Every structure is written in C-alpha cells, then in structure tokens.
Amino acid sequence: MKSSKNKEILNIDSRLSRTVQSLFLYILFLGANFINLEFALTTMSAISVIITIFYTIRDDSFYLSKKKFFISLAFVFVGMILINAKQPTIEEVFTIVVKQGIAEELIFRLGMLGILRSYLKVETILQKETWVVLFLNSGLFSLLHHNVFLSLFILSLVYGYLFLKVGILSSIVAHALWNFYHNLEVLVFVVVVIFSYESFIKLRSRKKPFFRWYKRRFDSSED
C-alpha cells in the first residue's frame, strides 16, 4: 500500500501528485516570503507561469472558447475604466494591479489551481470535488492575511471561481478592483451573473419542456 502511494506521488500525472505539487508551490512561496515579499511574488509568479506552460503542453489542455475570450475582454475593458476612474498614480497601479493583483493571481490561481485544473470539473454547477479544492485554495490564501481572514476567504472563492469558469484575466481584474474599491458585493454580483448565465445555457441545452414549448411557439409564429 505504501509503495503504491509513493509511486502515485512520483507520477506527476496522478491526482495525488498534482495535489502535492500545488501545496509545495505554496510552501515555496512561504519560504521565499521570509526572504522578501517582492522577491517571493516575482519568483513564484514566474515559476507558476512556467509550470502552467509545461502542464498545458503535457495535458494538451490549451483551449479558449469565443465566449470565454469575449468575457475576459469585457472584464479587462470594464476593469480599465473603473481603475482609471480612481485616477491612480503609476506607483499605485504597479503596487495594486501588478504586484498584488497579477502576481498573487498567477501564484494562487494560475499556479496552484492550474496544476489541478485537468482534474477539476467546471461544468455549469461546479462539482463537489472542485469546491473542496477552491475552499482549500481560499483557506491557504487567507492565512497569509490572517487579520481579514473571512472576507479574503470569500474573495478568494470568487477569484478561484472566475479563474476556472472564465480564465486568469477575469480573476486578475477582480482582484485589482477589490484592491482599489474594497467592494465585495460587486464581485459577488459578477459571479452570480456568470453563474446564472451558465445555468441558463445548460438548462436550455438539455431541452427542458418549457424551452421546447417556447421554441415551437416561436417557430409557428414566424410561419
């Protein structure tokens, strides 16, 4: 039994191995953080990007639907408008958007969640296993900000959800907007809208009786 577990950990494609790798990335970040926070953010975000590229090629998982592409562009466009409305200085943009928003999302979402992404089911309603990983990821993220644990735990769930459902750009924009506005309700509203839209599309694709009746009525009215 112990031997099979060891083999599973050494097999980089196994779920257990990916989980260990994700946690090890977090431990590396903590270690680098003892040296210097900026060093930790820069180094670990670069490592996260490299790991993501490696597993994207290995898993042959690069796929970007038109829907996700346009939603991501919408996030960036709206984010730029809202951030510009604050009229931030270049220093504020670097600190809040680049150092806090981009670097942290690259590590915790693109890196830690990305390693496990091929094992996470991200259909309309996220599976129980996916929520467990999101809760764990949010808990580890929040431990670094223990003075505001609960609010950041919820925020991290939002970021993780956006990353899995839309992509890394959406979670980066959401993170940056929170740092500028500190408005949790707006971010939760965004997730609710996306979740509702996805649920509607999924329900319609199943061809429930209501949609079959509506389609027949609509088609007959055109005749």
* Mean pLDDT score across all residues of the chain: 81
Rounded CA-CA distance 99/114 in Å is 20
Other residues' Cβ atoms within 10 Å of the Cβ of residue 39:
12
Percent of the chain with pLDDT over 70: 83
Model confidence at 45: pLDDT above 90? yes
Rounded CA-CA distance 8/81 in Å is 47
- pLDDT at residue 205, as a whole number: 66
Residue 3 neighbours by CB under 8 Å, 6+ apart: none
Total domain count, the chain? 1
In which band, very low, low, confident or very high, does the pLDDT at 3 lie, cut at 50, 70 and 90? low
Q: Residue 44 has which token pair?
A: 């670990």
Indicate the angle between helix axes 184-205 and 168-181, nearest 10 degrees: 150
Q: Find out whether 15 and 119 touch, Cβ atoms under 8 Å.
A: yes
Range of the domain at 217: 2-222
- pLDDT at residue 206, as a whole number: 64
- pLDDT at residue 207, as a whole number: 54
Q: Find out whether 191 and 71 touch, Cβ atoms under 8 Å.
A: no
- pLDDT at residue 4, as a whole number: 66
DSSP class of residue 118? G
- pLDDT at residue 219, as a whole number: 53
